[in-house]
Chain A
Amino acid sequence: MAVEGLVFPSTLVLLIVVLAFMAGALVFFIWAARAGQLGDLDRQAMLPLDERDLRVSHPWETAEQAEARREAWGEPLPPEPGEWGGAE
């Protein structure tokens, strides 16, 4: 049908772009797997955290949470102004 013929190119272009997106994601996924980016996840999870983030005392934590933090990371450090982003 003529109308379908006119419409088809737009769907074709989008189909190609969408498939390119999926193919690109697949290529990067394979690269990530081969490069070890999908392994050692426990270590990766810690990447944003500095020692200070883990040791500083968090006033909102319960006594149990604070004790668990102390046991895991040592004696707590006092927080500074703006420690958690913004004037407290």
Chain B
Amino acid sequence: MSGGEARAVGVGSALTAPAPRPAEEASRLPTSEERELRLRVDRSSRRPVLVAFGCSLVALLLGSVFGLTASVQMHSPELAGPGWLTFGRVRTAHLNAMVYGWASLAMLGVSLWMIPRLVHQELKWARLAEFGVWIWALALGYQLVRILGGIPSGMEWLEIGLYTGDTFLTVGGGMVGVALLRTLLARAVPHLYVSVWYIMAALIWFPIIFITGNWPAWAGAESAAVNWFYAHNALGLWLTAINVGAAYYLIPKVLGRPVYSYQLSLVGFWTLGFFYSLNGMHHVIGGPMPTWMITTSITASVLMVIPVAAVAINHHMTVVGRFAALRYSPTLRFVVLGAMAYTAVSLQGIFTALREVNRITHFTQWTVGHAHVGVYAFATLILFGSIYYILPRVLRREWPSARLISWHFWLVLLGIALYVTALTVAGVFQGLYLMDPAVPFRASVDVTLAGLQARSVAAVMLTAGHVVFAWHVWRLWRRPTPERELAPFHALRPVVREAGS
């Protein structure tokens, strides 16, 4: 191999080549001792990862039922039921179960598994991390009961109680963060892979925005400003950061080749860190906020094209020429589609942040569709793909059924496509009707009806997909299939390198 080829690693200049081997890499390749370490690393994070994934799945099922219920009530309000089942409560319970339960707990599980792997070190203080996950999950469970009981704060994304919920989530998440930080400090590799940057940064950013958002000092317009500062950053600096980090690990791992351009991946990370935090103010366009602040936020939103393009180009160019791999790898199928959705939701977000577009889409179903491209099509699909990759390695047995994975994939893919299409179209018409003074307000509601009904069909598909997924996880957990147990690549079987290779 020439020196030129050796230097090409990470740049991906040769799309047909797998991963050119640089001379210096020969000394880095894992020995049998390193493989043994990898097994110990996976074993060290086993319990907290399983607790996090288990609790996240419970939240996923609960959140799906809440979401389906709220969706049906939007077009059939006569089905409201008793007080605790009214739209205002189940919709809030759905949001909190999905964001803080399903997504956040699954992300903690992914972080607890991925960071030790990437720093070649066993998870330190694993008990602390496990305890932290339990605190988070139990506190959230109590908060869901409170929300259904009619005691939310009324601030979107900040509904859970300050002293009975936020405090415990902060402490629980902090315990996970401390364990991961301790692991990072004990790392056995000098460099931090880009996924480590994303995940560890998210674990620092999230408590800051969470505490700022929940600080009990805001009132009136201040509340709205801080509310959207928090909610938007929860998407961009928490959900986005960990899931982009996971994609940067899983795509090269499955394809057996490094990312197209490692330089570009760092550009994406640092520009996200520098520019993202002011984005949230574009949610209050037209509100009682200083114009300069909203304009600054719009500018910051447009600047997001830099990290988004960096991630999009990198992920696409890593996979290009190998899209057939999606047929072989369920993990890659979910993660690549999730990565594509990241590009889509980000570009849609930039577009929506412009005043000319926002004045039509604001207060319409468009925003709900947009949020689901982000939290579901992007974050949730990547989390599904991550769990498909991680759980067999943690439980040391293979998924029992390829058919169930296919059912899960197609149900959620078609479900979210229908969901987003229906609400986006309905939202545009709703916005145009709202802006037309000649059109009665009632017409702007009626025009969304078909979209809302289609959304309920989509919600049924998504819920069914989640039930299939949970059932499959249960089968993996409870009924190991002996012939597929302990796949040899998990075992300590040294790879004998060919002489001269």
A48 to B25, CA, bound (A): 13
Residue among B256, B322, B402 facing the most chain A CB atoms (10 A cut-off): B256
Contact partner, A48, options B195, B273, B281, B489, Cβ 8 Å: B195
Tell whether B19 is near chain A: CB-to-CB under 8 Å.
Answer: yes
Residue of B nearest to A58 (CB): B256
Interface residues of A in 28-77 (CB under 8 A from B): 28-29, 32, 36-38, 40-56, 58-62, 64-65, 68-69, 72-75, 77
Contact A58/B191 with A85-B385, A87-B401 known, Cβ cut-off 8 Å: no
Q: Closest Cβ of chain B: how far from A16's Cβ, in Å?
A: 10
A41 to B263, CA, bound (A): 7
Taking a contact as CB atoms under 8 Å apart, the answer to whether A18 and B498 are in contact is no
Tell whether B109 is near chain A: CB-to-CB under 8 Å.
Answer: no
| Among listed B154-162, B287-295, B348-356, interface-contacting one | B287-295
Q: For A45, list chain B residues within 8 Å (CB).
A: 9-10, 252, 258-259, 262
Contact partner, A21, options B38, B194, B205, B401, Cβ 8 Å: B205
Contact partner, A43, options B19, B24, B276, B325, Cβ 8 Å: B24
A21 to B277, CA, bound (A): 7
Taking a contact as CB atoms under 8 Å apart, the answer to whether A48 and B249 are in contact is yes
Tell whether B222 is near chain A: CB-to-CB under 8 Å.
Answer: yes
Tell whether B22 is near chain A: CB-to-CB under 8 Å.
Answer: yes
Residue among A75, A81, A85 facing the most chain B CB atoms (10 A cut-off): A85
Contact A74/B501 with A7-B289, A21-B273, A82-B484 known, Cβ cut-off 8 Å: yes
Taking a contact as CB atoms under 8 Å apart, the answer to whether A9 and B266 are in contact is no
Residue of B nearest to A38 (CB): B266
| Among listed B130-138, B328-336, B375-383, B435-443, interface-contacting one | B328-336
Taking a contact as CB atoms under 8 Å apart, the answer to whether A53 and B25 are in contact is no
Q: For A83, list chain B residues within 8 Å (CB).
A: 487, 489
Count of interface residues, chain B, beta-carbon cutoff 8 Å: 95
Contact A11/B293 with A37-B192, A46-B28, A48-B195 known, Cβ cut-off 8 Å: yes
Contact A61/B484 with A11-B293, A85-B385, A88-B329 known, Cβ cut-off 8 Å: no
Tell whether A13 is near chain B: CB-to-CB under 8 Å.
Answer: yes
Interface string of A3-14 (1 = CB under 8 A from B): 110111111011
Q: For B498, list chain A residues within 8 Å (CB).
A: 74-75
| Among listed B365-373, B392-400, B420-428, interface-contacting one | B392-400
Taking a contact as CB atoms under 8 Å apart, the answer to whether A84 and B329 are in contact is yes
Q: Closest Cβ of chain A: how far from B435's Cβ, in Å?
A: 26
Residue of B nearest to A36 (CB): B190
Q: Closest Cβ of chain B: how far from A24's Cβ, in Å?
A: 8
Interface residues of B in 405-452 (CB under 8 A from A): 405
Tell whether B163 is near chain A: CB-to-CB under 8 Å.
Answer: no
Q: Closest Cβ of chain B: how far from A72's Cβ, in Å?
A: 5
A78 to B487, CA, bound (A): 12
Tell whether B145 is near chain A: CB-to-CB under 8 Å.
Answer: no
Contact A72/B495 with A60-B327, A85-B388 known, Cβ cut-off 8 Å: no
Tell whether B471 is near chain A: CB-to-CB under 8 Å.
Answer: no
Interface string of B314-347 (1 = CB under 8 A from A): 0000000110110111111000000000000000
Contact A47/B266 with A61-B18, A85-B254 known, Cβ cut-off 8 Å: no
Contact partner, A46, options B9, B208, B276, B293, Cβ 8 Å: B9
9 contacts between A and B (CB under 8 A): A47-B193, A49-B253, A51-B495, A69-B256, A72-B17, A74-B497, A80-B487, A84-B329, A84-B331
Q: Top 8 nearest A-B pairs by Cβ distance?
A: A85-B331, A74-B501, A86-B330, A45-B10, A85-B389, A10-B222, A84-B329, A25-B273
12 additional contacts (CB under 8 A) given A21-B273, A52-B489, A86-B402 = A11-B225, A13-B212, A29-B270, A43-B28, A45-B9, A60-B327, A64-B16, A65-B18, A72-B1, A84-B330, A85-B330, A85-B389
